[in-house]
Structure formats: C-alpha cells, structure tokens
Structure 1
Amino acid sequence: MTKMPARTDLIADWRNWRSASAWAARFVGWAVETEGSSRSSALIRIGLAMLFWSRWAGELLLYMDRSPAGLFLAANFFVATALLFIGYHSRAAAVWAGAVGLAMYYYFGFQLGREPWTHHHTYLLAVAALLIALTPCGRSYSLDRYLAVMHAERMGGPPPAERGNLWGLRLIVVQLSVLYFFAAFDKSNHAFLSGARLEQIFLWYYAGSDYPAGLAWPATMASVAVVALEYCLALGLPFRRSRRFLVVPGLAFHAILYLTLPVYTFSATMALLYLAYFDTDAVDEVIARLHGTGPAPTARGEVS
C-alpha cells in the first residue's frame, strides 16, 4: 500500500514550490518585464558606433578595396554606423551594423581569409550591436529623440519619456557572463594554470628566446589569478552585492590586457558593456547630477 506523505512533508513541499515559483517570477520580472531609463542604452549605442569605426574604419576606406564586394561592404558599414552614432532609426541601424559585423566576421573573415576579422573581439562587437537593438537605445541622445520632442511640441503634448523595456540589456549581461565563464573554463587546464601559457606569451612579445630567471612562479600565480577572476566576474557581476567588489578589478584586468597584448577593441568593448550591469535609473541620476538637473521623467510611456 502506498504510503501517504506526512502533513509536514506536504507543507515543506508546498513551501519549496512557492519559493521556487517566487524566484522564477522575480527572475522573469528582472529579465523581461523591467522598465528603466534609456540613457544607458543610448550611451552604449554611441560607444559601439565609435568602436566599430576604431576597429574597421581605416581598413574600409573606399580606396582600400575597390572591388564591387569591397565597395559594397564599405558603403554598408559607414552608412549603418553613422546612423547608429547619430541615432536615426536607431534600432534598425543597430541591426544593420550588427549584420554588417557578422558578415565581416563569417564571410569576409572565415570564407575569404581575412584572419584578423575572425577574432573574438569582432564577433563581440557585432553581437553587441544586435543586442542593443533590443533596447530603447534611440529614446535618448539621438536624432530620433530630437524628432520625437519636436513632434510632441507641435502637437502640444509633453515630450516622450526616456524609458523603455530593458530586456536587451539583460541579454548583454548574459552574454558577458557567458563570455567570462567559458574564457575561464577554457583556461582551467594544466597548460594554463601551470603558467606555461603565460610564459609563452611573455617570451613571444617581450623576452624573445632568452628565458628570464624567476619567471615560473609569477607566471603561475598570474595564471591562477586570471582564471579565478574570470570565474568571479562571470558569476558575481550580475549581482549588486558582489558587483561592487568586482567592477574595479574587472576594468583593471581589461586595462592590463589592452596595455600588454594586441586585443584591439576588446577591452574597450567590455568596459562599455559594463554599463548594462548597472541599474539604469541610477546611471540616469548620475548623469543628471553631472548636468546639474533632475533625473529624466519617470512617467511610463510606450514600451517597446
């Protein structure tokens, strides 16, 4: 005969279910139902356009590749990134710029053999542009915003609120955490943790064939520290309590990478995307203080 669960077991199971249900509801609310200031998204949009130019503009000037494919790529690149920068049809421009970035990564990089375009920092730029298209990135600091305000003035109404749904920023947070986690996971082996990989990098870029005395222990300690930091950044940055202790080490880590290794725009891209971790209304308050004004209107407008 099947034994009926005790009443205390039923109560415990019910409490566990309610706890899990409440946690799931909170996660859904955080992930897809949160509204906030659009200024963080706008700053990321502008920064991404500048990073696109920093990484590729010099290689895509019209005289660099005068083939039909090269000219077509250059035209799409400069038009899309210019629209992204000024914020005209901002979301469409972000999708356009991201698609151009992926075409450069997959087709021109892997298929046509432009090896520098196959690096992870180029993929990150393209994906970040696509993800920022899912945010209200055109509602602040943009031509879209200017036109919306002018239209509201002509109609005699208030300017539209600089707010929107933040689920695109949540996806950027997930992207960064996944990047950090698998970067650490890929290094979690004896070849890296022993310091051998860092020794090889140091010899290649700095010391040449002469092995410096006393390099082994510093290389080992630095290797372990890098892996530990990347795991901490992956798991800790999304949470406010741990984020306060990790932002400065994370930014310092990327600054060191930029100064010591040819990582191109990777460090700057990561530093820019750190904005996605912070509460958008808190960022808006900081901007308002810098401007000497109050925070942006918090009245809820249309969310898209």
Structure 2
Amino acid sequence: MTRAPEPMVEIHRGPFVESQHMGHAVICDSTGGIVEAWGDPEAVVLPRSSAKMIQGLPLVMSGAAKAFGLGPDRLALACASHQGAPVHVQALNTWLSELGLGDGDLICGTEASRDKELRFEMIRSDQSPCRVHNNCSGKHSGFLTLTKHLGAGSDYVDPTHPVQKSVREAFEEVTGAESPGYGIDGCSAPNFATTMHGMARAMAFFASAGARGDGMSQAAAQLVEGMIAFPELVAGESRACTHLMRAAKEPVAIKTGAEGYFVAILPQRDMGISLKIADGATRASDCAIAALLVRLGVLDAQDPQVKRFLNPPIKNWDGLVTGEIRPVAGLSGLKTG
C-alpha cells in the first residue's frame, strides 16, 4: 500500500508556520531491516548524487583503484559533489594528468565553480569554466580510471558501456532489488532508481562493510574510509555534507544528492539512512538529515556547525531575522516549545 510523504520540515515566520516540506526517510540496520521510517519506504526514487559511493564500487572491486594507486583522498573525490574549489580542481587535474588524460576526456559538461572566490576570480580574468569544475568531475575521473583499466571505449556514460553495466550490477546487489530503470543525471551518467528502503539498505551495507571480507564489502569500506578522512573533498566549505561530517561525534559519511536527497552511513552502528524531500528543496533536506542524526545522537543540536543546517535563521533584505527553518516536532527527538 502506497503511503504519503510525511511533514518533515517547517518554515516559521513570527508565530506562523508559513510553509511545510514533506518527505520520506528510512533508517536500516545491517540486516537490511527497517529501524524507523517516515512516509513510504517503498517509494521509488532517483538517489542522484547520493549514489556516488555505489557508483564507485566497480572502481575498487575491479582492481583499477589499486592499479592506478588511488589513495583515500581520490576515493573521496570519486564519491564527491565538490564545489570546484582550487583544492578540488588541482587534485583532479593531477589525477587526470597521471592517467594521460585531460579536461576534454570528461563527459560531465562544464559548470562554473561553486566556490565563490574562484568563480569571481575566473570572471575577472575572463576564464571560462572547465569540465573539471563540474561537481561530478571526481566521479567521472573514477569512471575514466575504470575505463582505462578495462581498455573500454571512451563513451563511459553510455548505459551499455562496461563501466555502467558494472555500476548497475553493483547498485542492484547493494540495494537488494532489480532497478526499475534509470534517468540521466545532470552530469550525463545514468542514475539508477530504487526504493527508499533499498537505498537505506545499501547505506547499511556500506556501514557494516568493514566486518566482512568479500570483495564488494572491502571496496565499500575503502570508499567510506576515504569519505570520512576527507570531508572537505566530499563537498566543501559551507556545504552540509562537509560541516556535518566534521561536527559528528563519531565517524559518519554523509552525502547529498540533487532534488532533496540525502544519505548517511554510520559505521559504528552498522546503520544507513536514506532521505528524500518530496518537493526537492535543499533547505529542507539539509535540515532533515541534521535532525535525523541528532535523533540518533550522532550530532549535537547545539553545535554551531549543526545549528546552521538544523535551525538556520531566515533574514530579510535589511538583515533582520524574520523566521527560522526547523524540523517538525519530534523528528530530531528533541523537545520543542
């Protein structure tokens, strides 16, 4: 039976709830069982960039990561939706150069840097954005590494390409079900669909991977370790993923995706979280994932890095605080009022 999304985030202005964001969320344990859920666990979703660690599994499982000497920093970049800041651009240009490749070999499209200082600097010096500035260029560098390792053709985003076939196989294995299909992501790669439960199950697989010895589990553990070790490469300054990972009271990998998607991997608890805000609002998904991690005791609600996403103020053009974004009562497990 289909269940409707539930209220998850409210926009307060004065004494009024002005707007409300609905959504779905699932928390799974290492068996794939549901610990808690909101909305419909069987809702079919496109996890978008939240699936990047799954898309990175074949890179490690194939032996390509080892063959090309990819350390945890590059595995973090393979899972990243980065800002295109200098730290990201320099690292990725070096990676591509070591492969004997360049910006033109990426198929992710050009994107202006999301790093404000670099973007303005490029505008002032009349520099055009490159493909390496694209937030998905780390994932694509991973795809190119696997492509070179396999000796496959250059169109690595084609759904029939060996890289994407291996991604789909891994995706269906960790989500526990055949994918009903895919949409083409903003970076031109296929993004496979699953259910909310399937995605939470996959994140729990990653969370508990270190305790298992099979190849896929060991690959998952390496990717998680890279993300946790290099939170600044996974996203960047001002981004929820990076700040919430830094603020966590225990190791945790957190990853956003477009259209209000978020996942979290909790290795010390062997638990995974999937979250989808129905209207796709990032302001709501940032708030809701922070609330769920506060609920579990992973984050401290009073930590300034947490509060900026859990309870961000709303200001008018004169700088006056006129309202607040907050999770619905009970979502964070904290008393309100």
Higher strand share: 2
Higher helix share: 1
Does the TM-score normalized on the shorter chain lie above 0.5?
no
Which protein is bigger by CA-based radius of gyration?
Answer: 1
